[in-house]
Amino acid sequence: TEVTEKLEEAVMIWIKQIRQVLVESEQMRREADDIGPAAELEHWKTRMSSFNSLLDEIKSSRVKKIISILQAARSKTLKQWKELDGNITIAANEAKDNVRYLYTLDKFFGPLAKASPVTMMEHVPSLMHTVCMIYCTSPYYNTSERMTSLLLKITNQMINTCKTYLREG
């Protein structure tokens, strides 16, 4: 019983820490007003890395042993643990999926950032087609909030490219 209590205390600390990670990941991001679309991909890559590390830890043999001991003891903390384990898996899948979809835009980031306005405009139809494809097929990225954020970053990059062109021209 004493061992079970100590293990439950450890799991409750983990639960608190994991909840904190989940809460922080869902908070609004503060970003510069002129940030481009490459930052969106970087955000999701960082998030994917964080959640994958967390999943690796949760699936480690040490954690599995503790959970199996608590299962044998019929611990009440396991209900919360299983729920959080599912939430972490969902968050990791979302980040992985978003990275996969945003990588389809990666080929446009260079032309958006370095081309002249005329050359940049040649890429806009296929860029918008790809954004539309992401909206239509992504199970996670198809919200108006996510699309607005992405389109805002694309617009910011186009404006910055035009400003640079005008300054250098």
pLDDT tens-digit series, residues 123-161: 999 999 999 999 999 999 899 989 999 999 999 999 999
The pLDDT of residue 163: 93
How many domains is the chain partitioned into structurally?
Answer: 1
Q: Give me the percent of the chain exceeding a pLDDT of 90.
A: 67
In which residue are the tokens 């042993």 written? 65
The pLDDT of residue 110: 86
Other CB atoms closer than 10 Å to residue 98's CB: what's the count? Answer: 23
The pLDDT of residue 3: 86
CA 156 to chain centre: 21
In terms of residues, how long is the chain? 169
> What does each C-alpha distance from 23 to 7, 10, 39, 84 come to in angstroms?
24, 20, 21, 12
**Full domain range(s) for residue 143:** 2-168
* SS3 of the chain: helix, strand, coil, percent, to 5: 85, 0, 15
The pLDDT of residue 42: 92
pLDDT in tens, 20-48: 988 888 876 777 778 889 999 999 999 99
